[in-house]
Structure 1
């Protein structure tokens, strides 16, 4: 059984990947999608979204990183996949699950689930181009507006060359509205011969237990649930391994928030950094009452020194 950290565009960047993988329990993670349109991207694009490539394609905690591409042109995706491999990507992942309207309008993400033949062509072309020892995987939703074609799409991906499938158990139209239809993950696993990961609406250890029971699969990809509860993967891993684990309290989490802020200050402008911290703290409010109070204090704050003080960093230390 493996536990993966989901690729969430605009949220799980290299900083949050670093912080979350420090907590433990995560077997591998994925970049935010790298959008491929009609040309070979410069290496700088990969460096920006996947800086871990220069560190052996792993986070500081040693968790392997996969590079995810999004697009609809099989040849162009293949060319960029080859470049990603040359830059150090150990696995190429392809995105057929993004529900964002802007992405779908430009023929990327979940809208391609309307075209199983194209899914197959993309996987076939990327698999043909990428060195044989480098796996190609894919992430999909159940469909665009209905799960009726989910099995056809899964078969197209697997038969095209995908060695693993992650199934977000909702359609594009469902977005992130509960529930996740985990029973469809079971149906997908029944028709494909490759490992299938369940994804969607796992916020707690109990959710994972139910997901495993309904989906029938062992492997799991955690997204918003892990961002909101940073030790969720460790909780699941501990139960998997039959060992005891005490969930993190707020005091244990605070050093990670401070680490996140330090990295944000170093990598972002003073105007950008506070917003990224607020984004994460807002998600932590789902799990930690203390995060509610902190977010209230941070909400309108834009001064970086003051933000640091609010999370326990003295101004002198921040400087």
Structure 2
């Protein structure tokens, strides 16, 4: 049983990976995607998205991090994968699941699922370019306009030499609307010999158990569910392993958010200094009612003194 942290563009950067892996229960992470066009990218671009390259591709608590590439042309993808390995990447992940219109308009992400042969060509080029000891993994959705191509794409991933496949159990058109169609993952697992990881709509321990039952697999990747409930991976593992575990309290979550705010504030211009915290509070509101109250208090605040005052009030109220 493995639980992975999903890549979420503009959300799960290295600070968030550090925080969530410190909480525990996670066996690995994937970076936000690095967009590949026709160029060999410089190290500074790789480092921007994968600062763990400087620490043996592990978060500070030792959790492995895969570096994710997104692109539509086999040769540039292969060249940049080689560069990443030269810079210390321990695993390369390939994105065929991003549903964003801007990405799809430039022939990246989920739009490639319309042509399984292109999925195959990209993965094979990368697999051939990097040493056999470097895992090459891929993430797909069940299709683009609909879910009819799911098996063709899954077969293409395996035939191209990928070491593992993660399946977000929705099509591009499905977006993020419930439900996730986990039973398709069971079909894929029955067909493929490589490990298959389930992803999509896992918000609670009960969701995980339903996903495991319907998909036939214990390995999952958590995205929004882990932002809404930062210790969800620990809760799942404790339940499955029959261990006692007390979920994080709002006081602990609020203190975690404050540390994140203090750490990241110097990275943004003043008017944007609270944006990441506000974004995270939106997810947390699903699990913690207090997050909704905090968000209402902070949502129109734009200066560090205003945001600091909101934090102090929230921290005091949480105890």
User: TM-score with structure 1 length normalisation?
Assistant: 0.96
Q: Which runs of 4+ in 1 moved over 6 A?
A: none
Whole-angstrom distance in 2 between the partners of 1:270 and 1:29: 30
Whole-angstrom distance in 2 between the partners of 1:26 and 1:160: 28
1:40 aligns with 2:40: yes
SS at match of 2:81: helix
- 1:2 counterpart residue number: 2
- 1:317 counterpart residue number: none
Q: How does 1:50-199 map to 2 (within 5 A)?
A: 50-199=50-199
Give the CA deviation at 1:145.
Answer: 1.4
Whole-angstrom distance in 1 between the partners of 2:214 and 2:193: 19
Whole-angstrom distance in 1 between the partners of 2:45 and 2:21: 23
Whole-angstrom distance in 2 between the partners of 1:47 and 1:3: 25
Give the CA deviation at 1:266.
Answer: 3.0
- 1:200 counterpart residue number: 200
Whole-angstrom distance in 1 between the partners of 2:162 and 2:56: 23
Q: Deviations 1:220-251 (Å, cap 9, x if unpaired)?
A: 00000001100101001112332111111101
Whole-angstrom distance in 2 between the partners of 1:20 and 1:310: 23
- 1:216 counterpart residue number: 216
8 Å Cα contact 1:261/1:308 also seen in 2: no
Give the CA deviation at 1:57.
Answer: 1.0
Unaligned runs of 5+ in 1: 315-319
Q: Deviations 1:88-123 (Å, cap 9, x if unpaired)?
A: 111000000000000000000000001111111111
8 Å Cα contact 1:34/1:68 also seen in 2: yes
Q: Deviations 1:44-100 (Å, cap 9, x if unpaired)?
A: 001111111112211122211100000010010000001111111110000000000
Q: Deviations 1:283-316 (Å, cap 9, x if unpaired)?
A: 11111011011000110000112212322399xx
Whole-angstrom distance in 1 between the partners of 2:313 and 2:67: 34
8 Å Cα contact 1:19/1:259 also seen in 2: no
SS at match of 2:236: helix
Give the CA deviation at 1:279.
Answer: 0.4
Whole-angstrom distance in 1 between the partners of 2:240 and 2:182: 20
SS at match of 1:301: coil
8 Å Cα contact 2:71/2:107 also seen in 1: yes
Whole-angstrom distance in 2 between the partners of 1:102 and 1:110: 11
Name the stretch that deviates more: 62-71 or 259-268: 259-268
8 Å Cα contact 1:78/1:129 also seen in 2: yes
8 Å Cα contact 2:272/2:302 also seen in 1: no
Give the CA deviation at 1:131.
Answer: 1.2
Number of paired residues?
A: 314
Whole-angstrom distance in 1 between the partners of 2:11 and 2:103: 16
1:272 aligns with 2:272: yes
Give the CA deviation at 1:267.
Answer: 2.5
Over the residues paired in the alignment, what is the CA RMSD in angstroms?
1.2
User: TM-score with structure 2 length normalisation?
Assistant: 0.96
